[in-house]
Amino acid sequence: MSNTILYNANIYTMEAPGARAEAIAIAGNRIEAVGRLDTLLPLADANTRMIDLGGKCVLPGFNDTHCHVVQTGMESVKVCLRGVRSIGELVVKMRRFIEDRHIPDGEWVVGYGYDQLLFDEPRQPNRDDLDKVSARHPLMVDRICGHIGAANSLALARVGFDAHTVIEGEGGIMEKDASGRLTGVLVETARDVMANRMPKRDAAALAPLIRGVFEEASRYGVTSMQTDDLEAAPIGEIMAAYRRLKDEGSATVRIWEEVQCPRPRALEQFLALGLRTGDGDGFFRIGNIKIITDGSLGARTAYMRTDYADAPGARGVAVYTQADLDDLVCQAHLAGMQVACHAIGDGAVGQCVHAMAAARAMDGVDRRNRIVHCQFAGDDLLDAMARAGICADIQPAFVPSDYGMVGARMGARSGIGYRWKTMARRGIHMGGGSDSPVETFNPVWGIHCAVNRTGRDGLPEGGWRPEEKLSVFEAVRLYTSEGAYLTFEEADKGMLRPGMLADMAVLDRDIFAVPQAEIMSLRNVMTIMDGNIVYTA
């Protein structure tokens, strides 16, 4: 018999546009039946919980296909630099954080989220700026994109960076002034090396940070997250932290863990653990190998095929040569791992398409390899993606954040950016992610951005490049059935069918009936995960 029956609702199964029911029955952690209430009532007994939803909208639980759970949780222990308007304000916020929290001398302090494009003097902060914050604390600040940052003098010394330091591999830049002195500005791999040499947290410290993210995710109706956490801690500590939450009953989100392996040696060490894509249980699974191949548009480190319109001679940062990327992707693919490559510029996207197509040609296996972000791509690249079965993780919320600078950065080539409708028409599977903490992981906001392509202010009027808008059904699929496809879980989640997991989000109004401009105002009022109500408004 059913544990719970939800009724008097607009239940969208996501099997096809408009497919809906008025009631859904849950038995254990699975959906028992979907249909009319009178056909489901025989499944109820005296112990069945009957929930009248008063016409609210029920969708499959939302799936964020690319985010950073631990880094999002660590926001609470970092200095929030979002929205600061000058380097002076950044310095003041960092200094006050240290003073207000009485941080002992010698303890690391990290700031996150600045955007130099908002500054009255639009330049990157440097070591001299951060030395004004403190000479007694090692300091590091990250731009909102996470691909460029800066460190103060003590931090540089603490990790052993000086003018003679060599960053192994492609793409790492330690900026120097005319005299050869480090400015403290660290780009791509150099920034990553700094972060990796900072003290790491163990499972006991990570678990409460993750728990806080889970609670917020449940408020938004998110029941699955595909997350890259390995910059924050080693894989063993990450797994132990999630296991701890499961054991204590706080596992309200299903996790697909992306594993960063930037070099062959790191990949070999991971593969030696015997873990492969899909290993795990209904709460935590090993996901894909994550490879970062370029930077970000805002930092001009996204790798382009041609020069930036506003920086002649600059094409961004290619982290790998084509040969090295081919080898790394093939090594992971042939070992049984799905591969996900961060690529924003069309130069990097082209490298990834080449490597992934070559890997699939070697064994003929479709691992649903994917390109994360995939922001700029011409027709030739999209056609090649479709032929090779390469998927995309898109971040709809990047449009209101980015559209204002795309024209300046890309000039006449702006039209090859954020081509979601074009990708959908070519049959490219796309998942919807937030890249949190870069953007909020509220899927309703992502759906709004995919459908309307505007900010909260409604601008640009009519939406930026409206020909690339997705329908509401297509946008909801990004966060439901398509998210499940990317992780080979379409038989278990992403739709509301008998036998599938009882993961659901309940919105206060019908997302398919409200005016599209009002989508952003919809609220999640109930979240069901694994058959249990884990959130009610």
The proportion of the chain whose per-residue pLDDT surpasses 70, expressed as a percent, equals 99
**CB-based contacts of 201, cutoff 8 Å, min separation 6:** 209, 232, 233, 237
In the chain, what's the furthest Cα-to-Cα distance?
A: 81
- Tell whether the model's pLDDT for residue 162 goes beyond 70: yes
Whose tokens are 């070559």? That residue is 358
DSSP 148-183: EEEE-HHHHHHTT--TT----SSS-EEEE-TTS-EE
pLDDT at 171 over 70: no
Strands 173-176 and 182-187: antiparallel
The pLDDT of residue 76: 81
Whether the predicted pLDDT of 199 surpasses 70? yes
DSSP characters over 226-290? EEE-TTTS-HHHHHHHHHHHHHTT---SEEEEEEE--SHHHHHHHHTTT--TT-B-SSEEEEEEE
For residues 1 and 48, the answer to whether their CB atoms sit within 8 Å is yes
pLDDT of residue 520: 97
- Rounded Cα gap, residues 10 and 4, in angstroms: 17
pLDDT number for residue 124 = 95
Judge if 4-60+499-536 and 73-197 fold alike in CATH terms. no
Given a contact cutoff of 8 angstroms between Cβ atoms, the answer to whether 293 and 319 are in contact is yes
What distance in Å separates the CA atoms of residue 498 and residue 43, rounded to the nearest whole number?
13
**Three-class secondary structure of residue 30 per DSSP:** strand
Taking the C-alpha atoms of residue 271 and residue 273, their distance in angstroms, rounded to an integer, is 5
Q: Which residues pair with 34 in a beta bridge?
A: 24
C-beta of residue 519 within 8 angstroms of C-beta of residue 19: no
3-state secondary structure of 110: strand
* Distance, CA of 339 to CA of 323 (rounded, Å): 16
Query: Which pLDDT value is given to residue 167?
Result: 79
- 433 exposure class (CB count in 10 Å sphere: 0-12, 13-18, 19+): buried
At residue 232, does pLDDT exceed 90? no
Mean of pLDDT values over 299-308: 95
Q: Please report which confidence band the pLDDT of residue 169 belongs to, taking 50, 70 and 90 as the band edges.
A: low
CA-CA distance, 168 to 193, in Å (whole number)? 9
Strand locations in 344-455 (E): 370-373, 391-394, 430-432
Which CATH number is associated with domain 4-60+499-536? 2.30.40.10
170: confidence class by pLDDT, cuts 50, 70, 90: low
For residue 85, count other CB atoms closer than 10 A to its CB.
12
Give dist(CA 185, CA 156) in Å, integer: 10
Close Cβ partners of 469 (under 8 Å, ≥ 6 residues apart): 420, 421, 450, 451, 452, 453, 463
What are the pLDDT digits (tens) for 459-504? 999 999 999 999 999 999 999 999 999 999 999 999 999 999 999 9
What is the model's pLDDT at position 488? 98
| Residue 27 predicted with pLDDT over 60 | yes
Q: Write the class of the CATH domain 73-197.
A: alpha beta
Whether the predicted pLDDT of 180 surpasses 90:
yes
DSSP 189: H
Check if the beta carbon of residue 228 is closer than 8 Å to that of residue 258: yes
Query: Which amino acid is located at 502 in the chain?
Result: A
Per-residue tokens: 122: 């639009």
- The token pair at 456 is 């909260």
What are the Cα distances from residue 513, in Å, to 46, 341, 380, 419, 455?
35, 36, 37, 25, 21
Residue 175's beta-bridge partner residues?
Answer: none
Give the per-residue pLDDT at 252: 97
Average of per-residue pLDDT values in the chain: 95
Contact assessment for residue 298 and residue 145, using Cβ atoms and an 8 Å cutoff? yes
Name 334's Cβ contacts closer than 8 Å, sequence gap at least 6: 359, 362, 363
Rounded CA-CA distance 252/255 in Å is: 10
Average pLDDT, stretch 63-72? 96
- The CA radius of gyration of the chain, in Å to the nearest whole number, is 23
Q: How many CB atoms lie within 10 A of CB 86?
A: 13
Judged by phi (left if over 0) then psi (alpha if -120 to 50, else beta), residue 516 lies in alpha
Stated pTM of the model = 0.90
Helix axes 264-271, 322-334, angle to 10 degrees: 10
Q: Tell me: the pLDDT tens digits for 342-382?
A: 999 999 999 999 999 999 999 999 999 999 999 999 999 99
Element (H, E) at 191: helix 189-197
CA-wise closest residue to 123 among 184, 52, 203: 184
Distance CA 497, CA 238 (A): 33
Query: In angstroms, how far is CA 342 from the centroid of its own chain?
Result: 10
Taking the CA atoms of 299, 303, 309 and 311 in sequence, report the sign of the dihedral they define: positive
pLDDT in tens, 91-103: 999 999 999 999 9
Q: Where are the chain's structural domains?
A: 4-60+499-536, 73-197
Encode pLDDT of 386-433 as tens digits: 999 999 999 999 999 999 999 999 999 999 999 999 999 999 999 999
Compute the distance between CA of residue 104 and CA of residue 90 in angstroms, rounded to an integer. Answer: 20
Position 188 scores a pLDDT of: 85
